[in-house]
Every structure is written in structure tokens, then in C-alpha cells.
Structure 1
């Protein structure tokens, strides 16, 4: 919420960026989510490639919650926990590398 409001006034609220002067893996998410809300999906990928998959996962989560099938997600997550942790770490490192080399985030 706060990052979204500050983004309107073009104020950067990333402590990681303010300390180290390089984008973190989450840098650009607010701008990407803002573009997704405007249905500018391809353009959102320029700011953070993980935003669109996060929105898709959130919709799946909400649908499973509403249909009372959330147990399917929990059993999947428990079954593949270790693999998913490794995959998540790899994805975050890739996103971070992309963000560090993304001129739109500076």
C-alpha cells in the first residue's frame, strides 16, 4: 500500500536500494502490479518478471479458497516442499540478476 502511494509521487521506498544502490528481487513489483491492473501485461514484465506469475498464483489461491479446495494446494506444497524451496531460490536469484541489469529500475 505505502509503496504504491509513494510510487505515485515517484518516491523510492526500497530500503535495499537506498542502502546498496542496486535493485532487490522485489524492486519494480509495485509498478508491475500497477500495469497489470491496467491490463498492460507485457509492459509489466519489463519492471519485474515475477509479478504476473504472482498474480496468477493469487487468483488460483482465491479460487481454491472460495471453492473450499485449498487442501489441494496445501497437499501439493507439502508434497514438493523441498523442490519448491530450491526452485523459488533459483527464480529469485534469476529475477535479482535481471533487476540488477534492468535500467528501468534505476
Structure 2
């Protein structure tokens, strides 16, 4: 299930892990502080702001906020992959912290499947299909057209 390497981490490996820890903790800390009432006004999706059309990751912040409030149904409604990504950040943060504390590389049961190219392609394809489905639903309600017309790009073109 978990295997501890007999060799200590080299200084480069420690530096990489500190970077990964910072990267994986940033959304978790952001969720915590946002839930506490802190707001960053400029933190918006630039694609959605400029075009009015959501990007594939639109809704992740709202999904993370719903998770922080304990509302998993709302989290999935905001973005289907939000809870999965949130759980991934938590797992990476715990895993990297344990590696830094033990000063050894840890191989866990989830490490091997993540490296398989087929699973990576299936995951990317799933995100793409979900994104197309979301865009289709927005186009059917007319919301995508209205958002595009009122966006900076839409105003420039029309």
C-alpha cells in the first residue's frame, strides 16, 4: 500500500517537493480564507470575463467554496470535477508533507495509476466532454449568446 524508499531525498528533490506543496496548498488555503470572509476582487476567469464564455475550469472556485461549507451536491453542480480536484490537492499536500517529514520518497497505491498515459487521456477526454456538454446547455438556454454579446469582446465585435 505504502512503500518508503531506502534512499534519502536529495536537495533538488526536497526543493521540488516544497514547490509542489506550495502549489497544492494554495487552493486549499484560498478556500479556507475565502470561507472566512476574505475576498480578492481581481480573481476572475479572464476567458469568461473577456468572452462571456466559461472556460473548462469555470466553477472550480465556487465548487471549492461549497466543499468548504459541506455542500457536496452544490460542489458537483458548480463543476463536476471540483470535488475530485479538491481531494487531489488534499492527497498531494498530505503525501508531500509526509515525504518532507520522513526525508524519503513514498510510493503509494495511487502513484502508479496516475502515471499511466491511458488514464491521463481518459481523464482529459472526460473533462473535454463535460465542457462540451456545459457549453451545449448554455447555448440551448441562450445564456451563452447573451453573455458573449455583453462581454468586452462581444461589444467590440457588435
TM-score by length of 1: 0.69
Distance 1:89 1:59, change over 3 A: same
3-state SS, counterpart of residue 23 of structure 1: coil
Distance of 2:54 and 2:81 partners within structure 1: 14
The RMSD of aligned alpha carbons is 3.1
> Which residue pairs with 2:82 in the alignment?
51
Q: 1:12 to 1:59 in 2, by over 3 A?
A: closer
Secondary structure of residue in 1 paired with 2:78: coil
- 1:4-83 matched pairs, under 5 angstroms: 5-6=39-40, 13-68=44-99, 70-72=106-108, 73-78=110-115, 80=116, 82-83=117-118
Structure 2: 5+ residue runs without aligned partners? 1-29, 100-104, 148-158
Of Structure 1 and Structure 2, which has the larger fraction of its residues in strand? 2
Q: Is the 8 A contact 1:24 1:99 kept in 2?
A: no
1:57 to partner: Cα distance: 1.9
Name the residue aligned to 2:132: 97
Distance 2:114 2:43 in 1: 34
8 Å Cα contact 1:17/1:23 also seen in 2: yes
For residues 51 and 91 of structure 2, what CA distance do their matches in structure 1 show? 35
- Give ranges in structure 1 of 5+ residues lacking alignment: none
Q: For residues 98 and 17 of structure 1, what CA distance do their matches in structure 2 show? A: 17
Structure exhibiting the larger radius of gyration computed from Cα positions? 2
Give the number of equivalent residue pairs.
99
